[in-house]
Structure 1
Amino acid sequence: MIKRPPLSQLLIYALGQLGWSLASFGAANLLVYFYLPPESDGHSVFPAFIYQGAILGVATLIGFINFGGRIFDAITDPWIAAWSDNRPVAGGKRKKVMRLAALPFAGLSFLLFFPPVAGLSAYNACWLIAVVFLFYLFFTLYLVPYNALIPELGHHPPDRMRISTLISITWALGFVIGGMAYGIQGYFENFTDSVQAFQWTVGAFAAFSLVLMLVPAFFLKEETYAQQQSGLAVPPKEALGSVFKNKNFRLFIGSDLLYWLALTFIQQGVSYYVTALFGWPKEQASAFLAISFLASFLLYWPVNMGVKRFGKQGMLLSAFWVFLAVFAITALVTYLPLDKTVLFYLVAILAAYPLATFGIVPNALIADFVHEHEVATGQQQAGMFYAVRNFMMKIGISLAVLLFPSFLLLGKSASEPTGVIASAWAACVFCLMGYFIMRKVKLNTP
């Protein structure tokens, strides 16, 4: 019988989540901000490094680059998952891959924001394409084996919620720290120009994230506490087909895709919502993210209690409605007869509930699917289950990073906010669709 991991080992594991959350924050949330920056007082926050106009009349260059990187990322997930699942247990089948990936992953998160030419140039676009694709390769190499450890360490049901809660906390901490980029950039601008101030910020994030990602890669006692099978040699196509046979899992990941679509809109759009709709300086975006994620920490215990009373599905359904309300208020902020300061804090606090719920519940739910599959088939395919979830999550994010900049072509300033408002209404539609798909899921566990 494999020992249950003590809290100290779970904390070591959770630090890796803080690391990869911070390392991926820039690619997920700051690329559009840096390469298609918002306007303040009629001036762009950064100079143009790549083409800023529309392509094919409906999309942007940064949108296409981001979309292509995410699609490449999603395609590599099942292959890396099958390779990780089929590795020998001796020496730690997951953490050895994490060690390989951590340094290039962190380094590339820094290089994303270092265009080689100081101004508008096709060379910058070519550089960005190459770095984005390499970044997502090493991101997947770290993330797939890392997530596979959730059910392998959580081989007792209570431990799955415990692990999911801890990594949700550390993921949110990474997001909060990443969200401080706008404020930290503003501080560094006292000493240098906006571009270098931003680059100093993401450089510090990259160094810190590397240290955190290496903690579980070296100090997690995987061989002692993870329940694993060695070298199953299940071909990727067969493993993928086996996972997709689960109808309820398919419905869940479809719903999850729509959540990530909506979440990426708020992540990509927070600086635009703050400047174009609330009329405040870009630094307030950091305040919004900090309030939302810090408030979500206060809800972790209530969410765990809610799961016991209403079940995982019930909590996810309610979170979709609250997230829809967040975007609806944001879209209507210029029309509502309430003070914008009140609305700002209301939206920030409301966002805490879906962030806490979607941060905790899905990972525990997937771990349930993994163990049900193992009982039914005798095959342990934790890596593939999480890879499929990651694939759908990344498809959602890919669509968001393609669509969101396209909305901005309709207007992204306080004087012309049409595109920013339209993006918020689109996110409302995503939340509503996600709710109706999630309703169809039939779970065997509460």
Structure 2
Amino acid sequence: MAERLPLWKKWMYALGQLGWSLTSFAIGNALVYFYMPPDGVNFPQYITRGAVWAGLTIVGLALGTSRLFDAITDPLVATMSDRSKLKLGRRRGFLALSVLPFALLSFLPFFPISSNYTVNTIWLFTTVIAFYWFMTMYVTPFFAWMSELGHDPDERLGLSTMISVTWALGYVLGTQIYLFQTMLEKNGLEPVKAFQTVTAVYGIIGFIFMLLPIIFIDEKRYCEQHTVNEGSLEAIVNAFKEKHFTIFVIQDLLYWIGLTGISLGLVYYITVLLKLPKEQASQVQLIMFFLSFLFYAPVNMLAKRLGKKRLLMIGFIIFSINFAFASMLGKLNMSPYIQSYIVGVLAAIPLAIFGILPNAMVADIAEAHGKKTGNYKAGVFFGARTFMQKMGQTIAGLIFPSIYILGSNEVNEFGLRLSAIVSLAVMVLGYIALLFYNENEILKTLGVKTLTQEN
């Protein structure tokens, strides 16, 4: 019988999330800044900065290609992890193999190797694609591990809450990259060297934190030892045949489309609809983050009392109200600043809900599926969920910029209001999809107390 993780080892697991959150920040958020710096940032030119094909830039193509590769390889790595027979364990072994190249590749793209644009372009594509491969090798088994380290729904919910907290801490530290760059410049480093130094330090710190779960958690001691008796493609197909999972990923896809819509549109809602300076968008984002952080503990407690499904449905309702409000920004008889803060406050609650519960729900679905079929393949379920998440982000990235400029060649009020209404419709569809999700059936399969009333 597998032992339960002591609390301090649960934190060792959660701190691995802080590590990969920090390690992945620079490439995910600052690659464009480095290769296409804004006015006033004195970086050398390493690649062609203008459009090279169909209005697209080299750095944009590098990011787009690598993220598509990332999405496709998620299910592949998931099945490899599920079927792995590595001595350290099928999850821990993958983390150990990937952690060093993942950390190194988090800053190597910021160290071009030549003065030749073509050589640097090849270096950029190669290192960024390799980065996302090793990131997937670490992150997908890391999430799947939660299903096996948590031995019941409440324990998995607790682990999901902990990794949500540590992810947020890593992300916040990552956002200070420009502040740290400025501090190093004031101490005599050239701008590019200062920025490169920060990315390298992020990689080193992230590496140390990512090692913690590998060092301190013995998978054979704390996880039931299971095997998968399905081929890779068969495992993925059968995961989507699980009705609970199919309903879950449909609502998750819709959530990510809507969330990406507000992420992309917020600065325009602030500057175009409310006529406020762009700096206000940063303030609203800070409010969204810190308030959602405060809601983590209440969400955890309410999920145990009300159930995860009910809370997700509440999250969809609040997001729907927020988007309805956003569609009227600038037309209401109140201060523009107050309107912007209302958007931030309303978004904070569902961000906390969706930041914690989905991972715990996937873990429950995977465990219930394993009990029914004898195939414990949490990696496949988490890999498939991540694939759908990235598809939602991709769909939103394609459609929302076009909606913003509808009726004009530039972002305009009509397009922005329509985008908020589209996001509202997507959230309503997510709510409807959840109506068909039977949480009690999953809990019954897991052999734990069911909710008194199924939504």
Q: CA deviation at 1:405?
A: 6.6
2:240 is the alignment partner of 1:244 = yes
2:376 is the alignment partner of 1:376 = no
1:114–1:89: structure 2 CA closer, same or farther, 3 Å change rule? closer
The match for 1:316 is 312
Q: CA deviation at 1:239?
A: 1.0
1:266–1:46: structure 2 CA closer, same or farther, 3 Å change rule? farther
Q: How far apart in 1 are the matches of 2:134 and 2:225? A: 23
Q: CA deviation at 1:272?
A: 6.7
The match for 2:151 is 155
Q: How far apart in 1 are the matches of 2:182 and 2:277? A: 10
Q: Which amino acid aligns with 1:140?
A: T
Preserved CA contact (<8 Å) 1:182 1:283: no
Q: Which amino acid aligns with 1:292?
A: M
1:131–1:300: structure 2 CA closer, same or farther, 3 Å change rule? same
Preserved CA contact (<8 Å) 1:64 1:402: no
Q: How far apart in 2 are the matches of 1:123 and 1:420? A: 40
The match for 1:7 is 7
2:288 is the alignment partner of 1:260 = no
Preserved CA contact (<8 Å) 1:259 1:431: yes
Q: Which amino acid aligns with 1:9?
A: K
The match for 1:209 is 206
Q: CA deviation at 1:306?
A: 2.4
* Paired residues for 1:15-414 under 5 Å: 15-32=15-32, 43=39, 49-53=47-51, 55-56=53-54, 62-88=59-85, 90-115=87-112, 121=117, 124-185=120-181, 198-230=195-227, 232-267=228-263, 287-326=283-322, 333-401=329-397
Q: Which amino acid aligns with 2:72?
A: I
Q: CA deviation at 1:126?
A: 3.7
Instruction: Name the SS of the counterpart of 2:24 in structure 1.
Output: helix
1:193–1:139: structure 2 CA closer, same or farther, 3 Å change rule? same
1:290–1:101: structure 2 CA closer, same or farther, 3 Å change rule? farther
Q: CA deviation at 1:319?
A: 1.3
The match for 2:438 is 442
Q: CA deviation at 1:138?
A: 0.4
Q: How far apart in 1 are the matches of 2:329 and 2:396? A: 22
Q: CA deviation at 1:65?
A: 3.4
The count of residues paired between Structure 1 and Structure 2 equals 439
1:415–1:222: structure 2 CA closer, same or farther, 3 Å change rule? closer
Question: Percent of counterpart pairs with the same letter?
Answer: 41
Q: How far apart in 1 are the matches of 2:379 and 2:311? A: 25
Q: How far apart in 2 are the matches of 1:114 and 1:327? A: 41
* Paired residues for 1:424-443 under 5 Å: 427-443=423-439
Q: Which amino acid aligns with 1:360?
A: I
Q: CA deviation at 1:438?
A: 2.8
Q: CA deviation at 1:54?
A: 8.7
Could you say what the CA RMSD is over the residues aligned between the two structures, in angstroms?
A: 3.8
Instruction: Name the SS of the counterpart of 1:350 in structure 2.
Output: helix
After superposition, the C-alpha distances for 1:23-61 in whole angstroms (9 at most, x for unaligned) are 223343444555567x7xxx576877544449546x665
Higher-Rg structure is 2
Q: Which amino acid aligns with 1:349?
A: V
Q: How far apart in 2 are the matches of 1:417 and 1:346? A: 19
The match for 2:448 is none
Q: How far apart in 1 are the matches of 2:131 and 2:403? A: 26
TM-score, with structure 1 as normaliser = 0.83
Instruction: Name the SS of the counterpart of 2:105 in structure 1.
Output: helix
Q: CA deviation at 1:233?
A: 4.9
Instruction: Name the SS of the counterpart of 1:351 in structure 2.
Output: helix
After superposition, the C-alpha distances for 1:258-279 in whole angstroms (9 at most, x for unaligned) are 3223434555666676777777
Farther off after superposition, 4-13 or 86-95: 86-95
Instruction: Name the SS of the counterpart of 1:159 in structure 2.
Output: helix
Q: CA deviation at 1:441?
A: 2.4
Q: CA deviation at 1:304?
A: 2.2
Q: CA deviation at 1:106?
A: 2.1
After superposition, the C-alpha distances for 1:251-307 in whole angstroms (9 at most, x for unaligned) are 211221232234345556666767777777777666544432232222122212322
Q: How far apart in 1 are the matches of 2:103 and 2:399? A: 27
Q: CA deviation at 1:166?
A: 0.8
Q: Which amino acid aligns with 1:211?
A: I
Q: How far apart in 1 are the matches of 2:50 and 2:402? A: 11
Q: Where does structure 2 lack aligned partners over 5 or more consecutive residues? A: 444-450
1:357–1:223: structure 2 CA closer, same or farther, 3 Å change rule? same
Q: How far apart in 2 are the matches of 1:184 and 1:95? A: 33
Q: How far apart in 2 are the matches of 1:203 and 1:397? A: 28
Q: Which amino acid aligns with 1:13?
A: Y
Q: Which amino acid aligns with 2:162?
A: L
Preserved CA contact (<8 Å) 1:176 1:289: no
Preserved CA contact (<8 Å) 2:150 2:156: yes
Q: How far apart in 1 are the matches of 2:270 and 2:108? A: 27
Instruction: Name the SS of the counterpart of 2:209 in structure 1.
Output: helix
1:201–1:221: structure 2 CA closer, same or farther, 3 Å change rule? same
After superposition, the C-alpha distances for 1:416-436 in whole angstroms (9 at most, x for unaligned) are 788877766654454344333
Q: Where does structure 1 lack aligned partners over 5 or more consecutive residues? A: none
Preserved CA contact (<8 Å) 2:254 2:426: yes
1:322–1:30: structure 2 CA closer, same or farther, 3 Å change rule? farther
Q: CA deviation at 1:10?
A: 0.7
